[in-house]
Structure 1
Amino acid sequence: MFALPVGLIGLLLLARAKSFRGLFCLAAGGILTTIAIVIADSIYFQSVEFIDGKVSGTLTFTVLNNVLYNSDHSNLATHGIHPWYNHLLVSLPVLFGPLAILALARLWAFIKTWNSRTDLSFTSVAAGLSAGSGLALLSMVPHQEPRFLVPMIAPLAICTWRFHRVAPAYFWKLWMLFNAVVFVGYGLVHQAGVIPATGFVSQTSALPRLTCNFSTGNGHAECMAAASDISNTRHLQVITKVFAFASFMAPRHMLVQPVNSEWQAQTEIYDLISVEDSKVQERLLQSVHVSCKLAQQTAPNSILAKQTISGHFERTLLVMPSSLDIRRIVPADANYSVVELYSYAPHVNFDHIGEVLLHPIEHTKLQVFAICDPSG
């Protein structure tokens, strides 16, 4: 999306110069790079295998898969749908601030002097077209996040370089202030609780060995991490199902377990970032509910799990930001409730910035709840 104009202008310059060698090198470089990427992706995604000197499987064309995935509206609906102008009016100023203003001024100056220009810089034109094509093509995809426009930083800086010398002093002060604010917003508080919350879940839900107390009754077990030289008096498997709602997906590498793991405590994680409230309620209703009374008495770093029909023990955790009203997911007439096990602040979800600004203390946390049965 961003490289297409640069490549076309490169072809135009080479054609004007009648450099057939240059055209051949450009085409050969593109073809070889494409082949290398396809091979690397096919190996990485394990769609191709090399066994006894023979190749089997199918090639992975990541770029094509990307287009096919983003062409399906139902796929994008799971991540969130935005209007076509979101990148232009929201993402662009949020990411680049004063640089976006400078780029618009550069575009206006270019339009006013178009007919009288005889010294067009191919570099500036290519950079401007690169930024414009990326913005336009990405705006055609209904799921839009500011980070998708990060590649625009280079073409925007290049196409506005002449304006940098004449920009007033206050522009650079505004530039520094903007970057300081963005650093705090995106670097320190935006979705900041995801890693700590995932760490908490990992420390209490993915464990090789457990020591458990079965005296809690009602088919419950309260377990904690055991030293490697301590074995449980009975074989016990505890599964924690984690539902992440309205938040960045927890990085799965922090919850990984060995292949064919026999760890006594294991995790399963489900991404519900853009799932409708009713669907989330349905998933929670069908999950295993521990006793609310016992959950309130159990230490946060312990695992309170309930025995299932299959014989293993299970519990359900819900991870969601406090910027959302918990009653959306746990209505008053629900057959289940929640007990908070962990929270981290500051955690700001920019999708709910209105609620955050109204109640900056209560609505800037990421919480981990245990789903429980209030009658248990």
Structure 2
Amino acid sequence: MKWSLRQSRFSLDALARLLSLPLLVTSTTTLGFVYVDSVYFHGFMRPSTVEITPLNFLRYNLLPSNLAEHGLHPRWLHLVVNLPMIATPGLLFYVLWAEFDLFTSRTGEVPKGKPGPQSIPCFLSRCSLPHSAYYWVRWSATSLLSIQPHQEPRFLTPLLVPMIAIAVNNARITQARKSFLISWITANAALAVLFGVLHQGGVVPSLFRIHDIVYNDARGIHTHDFQIVYWKTYMPPRHLLAIRQEDVDSRKISVQDLSGASPDMALDALLIFTAFPKLPSTLLVAPFHAVQELGEQVAECLMERDRVFPHLDLDHIGESVQTGWKDGLSLGIFDVDVECLRKTPPYEP
């Protein structure tokens, strides 16, 4: 890049030198990732088992039915809410100032009456190529991610690097006062509480409580089989449940993650073991707003055993608000009466 910028004008030779090394590194890295993913998921690599993760990402996220399981959002959410939240107001202020300067500054100016190049915006000129590249990365990535109706703030986290580069390469950041530092600390502290404590904050504590339910503290054994179902939460890290390997192999204790499945799929999962002669005890771990989606008749078959507070599902804020502040900010652990479920429509024989 630096070598190219020192040239008086661009040429095919300069362009080839500029792109050859990045293309070589990109191609080698891409092939390495494809090989590792293919071997990881299939144990070997053949033309029929090639795994291209970005392609799989597009295939999955282009289907609205898949995204609906995780929550649908307006397409303006990234630009209006998520980007200012991730960048924090102070940093975004100086990024916007830097981009304004990039658009309004001019290059190629000459004194009046003398021939010379016309004045053109600096973001189109060769002199600001690194700065304009940061700009295009930020806006193109935000625009592409905004096409999908499922928008989470963490998707925009990689944009912090080009945004910081935009701000620090502009002289206005040197004029920042204590107000910028205060706003930066305050915003990051608030985000730490929001994403580090509240958002899906009940998942890990619920695993510890379920361990105490499943295993007898005195003897360290379980009295009967358990089926544990997580619904409408992030994927629970199963190792924190501390289940013994022999119990997993024998399927005496099983853990299912339903993610954002529909209520019908959730009911099917709760009833999957009803054909067995010995019914396991079934525990459902889900937000209270999700339980309401099952209907009143099904809810009567669920008995609240414990709850974890706080737990906030940022993908379903509206439903949590309607549930009320206490239930909306809690993750429930419910005992499931499977015989009762079998008698509720449409499972009534």
TM range (shorter): 0.7 to 0.9
Preserved contact between residue 88 and residue 135 of structure 1 (Cα < 8 Å): yes
- Matches of 1:345 and 1:123, distance apart in 2: 47
Q: Which has the higher helix share?
A: 2
Give the structure 2 partner of residue 100 of structure 1.
Answer: 92
Residues 195 and 37 (structure 1), Cα distance of their counterparts in 2 relative to 1, 3 Å cut:
same
Q: Which amino acid aligns with 2:303?
A: V
1:130 and 1:155 in contact (8 A); partners too: yes
CA distance in 2, matches of 1:374, 1:69: 36
Identity of aligned residues (%): 26
Query: 2:279 is matched with which residue?
Result: 313
1:268 corresponds to:
255
Range with bigger deviation, 145-154 or 112-121: 112-121
The corresponding residue for 1:25 is 21
Q: Provide, for residues 179-222 of structure 1, a one-character-per-residue CA deviation record: whole Å limited to 9, x for no partner.
A: 111111111222111111123334545x7xxxxxxxxxxxxxxx
2:150 aligned with 1:159? no
Which residue of 1 is the match for residue 50 of structure 2? Answer: 59
Structure 2: gaps of 5 or more residues = 107-119, 344-349
Aligned to 1:295: none
2:151 corresponds, among 133, 136, 144, to 144
Contact 1:340 1:370 in 2 (8 A): yes
Q: Helix, strand or coil for the counterpart of 1:141?
A: coil
* Secondary structure, aligned partner of 2:231: strand
**For 2:94 and 2:323, how far apart are their aligned partners in 1?**
33
Check whether the contact 1:347–1:364 (CA below 8 A) recurs between aligned residues.
yes
**What is aligned with 1:182?**
191
In the alignment, structure 1 segments of 5+ residues that lack a partner are 1-5, 50-54, 208-223, 289-307
CA contact (8 A) 2:135 2:162 kept: yes
Give the equivalent residue in structure 1 for 2:207: 198
Give the 3 Å change call, closer, same or farther, for CA 107–186 of structure 1 in structure 2. Answer: same
1:326 CA displacement: 4.6
Counterparts of residues 186-265 of structure 1 (less than 5 Å): 186-202=195-211, 204-205=213-214, 224=216, 227=219, 238-245=225-232, 247-254=233-240, 258=245, 261-263=248-250, 265=252
Q: CA deviation at 1:91?
A: 1.0
Partner of 1:339: 303
Write out per-residue CA displacement over residues 201-258 of structure 1, whole angstroms, 9 at most, x where no aligned residue. Answer: 34545x7xxxxxxxxxxxxxxxx47858x8x9xxx9724041413x323234445774
Within the candidate set 103, 107, 111, 1:111 is matched to 103
Corresponding residue of 1:34:
30
Tell me the distance in 2 between the aligned counterparts of 1:325 and 1:18: 59
Check the 8 A contact 2:102/2:121 in 1, yes or no.
Answer: no
1:39–1:157: structure 2 CA closer, same or farther, 3 Å change rule?
same
AA paired with 1:76? L
> Which residue of 2 is the match for residue 216 of structure 1?
none
AA matched with 1:179: N
Kindly state the Cα deviation for residue 37 of structure 1 after the two structures are TM-superposed.
1.0
Report the CA distance between 1:140 and its aligned residue: 1.0
Amino acid at match of 2:39: I
TM-score normalised according to structure 2 size: 0.75
8 Å contact 1:48–1:56 — kept in the other structure? no
Moved more, 84-93 or 115-124: 115-124
1:13-40 Cα offsets, whole Å, 9 max, x none, are 9857726455332222121111111111
1:45–1:14 Cα change, 3 Å: farther
2:330 is aligned with 1:365: yes
- Structure 1 residues 3-58: Cα deviation after superposition (integer angstroms, max 9, x where no partner): xxx9xx99x99857726455332222121111111111112222526xxxxx7962
Partners of 2:135 and 2:210 in 1: how far apart?
46
**Cα separation, 2, equivalents of 1:309 and 1:284:** 13
Maintained 8 Å contact 1:284/1:371 = no
* 1:154 Cα deviation after fit: 0.1
Amino acid at match of 1:64: L
How big is the shift at 1:135? 0.4
Tell me how far 1:78 sits from its aligned partner. 1.5
| CA shift in 2, pair 1:274/1:83, >3 Å | farther
Q: TM-score, normalised by structure 1?
A: 0.71
For residue 114 of structure 2, what is the aligned residue in structure 1? none
Distance 2:308 2:299 in 1: 27
User: Does structure 2 conserve the Cα–Cα contact (< 8 Å) formed by 1:42 and 1:60?
Assistant: yes
The residue type equivalent to 1:343 in the other structure is R
| Alignment-derived partner of residue 39 in structure 2 | 43
- Give, in whole Å, the separation in 1 of the partners of 2:127 and 2:322: 47
SS of the equivalent of 1:346 reads coil
Partner residue of 1:74 out of 61, 65, 73? 65
Letter aligned with residue 28 of structure 1: L
**2:110 matched residue in structure 1:** none
Aligned residues of 2:61 and 2:67 also touching (Cα < 8 A): yes
The structure-2 alpha-carbon separation of the partners of 1:109 and 1:343, relative to structure 1 and needing over 3 Å to count, comes to same
